[in-house]
Amino acid sequence: MATQFGMDDFCFACGPANPIGLKLKIQPHPEGGAVAHFTAAREYQGYEGVLHGGIAATLVDEVMVWASFFQGLPVVTGTLTVKYRRPVPVGEPLEIRGWVLEASGRRVRARAEIRHQGRVLVSAESLMLRVPVERHDSAV
């Protein structure tokens, strides 16, 4: 089933129909951008009790894309820079928040963080490229 900007229910990060997906429920944040709350299952760990870095990168990437979507800017990620500041625990509630820093022409710059108990564990920035809505399906 197609959803906003050509995404469908099988997106690994946010698709509710993907049996192995993260099933993130991403909402607009009241102060702008996007937010998701997520508790990682053990299946997503790297080291014992620690979220795999690739999954952490997926979380921040997804909320930055949605932060852009919520501003009416369909995008694909061009570059993603992730800083792993502290281990991200599995089995603990996390907040993932993303927001747009700047949109100019086709370029959209965004930032995101993964927080646990108010502490920033992962931060990221991305350069995303706007994709016309009618072309979004073929770009992903």
**Tens digit of each residue's pLDDT (9 = 90 or more) over 108-119:** 999 999 999 999
Question: What residues make up the domain containing 35?
Answer: 9-139
- How many domains does the chain contain in total? 1
Q: Look up the pTM and report it.
A: 0.90
Closest by CA to 25, choosing from 55, 58, 69, 62, is: 62
Give the tokens for residue 89. 């625990």
pLDDT computed for residue 112 by the predictor? 98
Query: CATH code at 115?
Result: 3.10.129.10
Is residue 4 a part of any domain in this protein?
no
For the chain, the average pLDDT equals 91
- Cα–Cα dist 37/93, whole Å: 7
Q: Which residues of the chain have pLDDT under 50?
A: 1-3, 136, 138-140
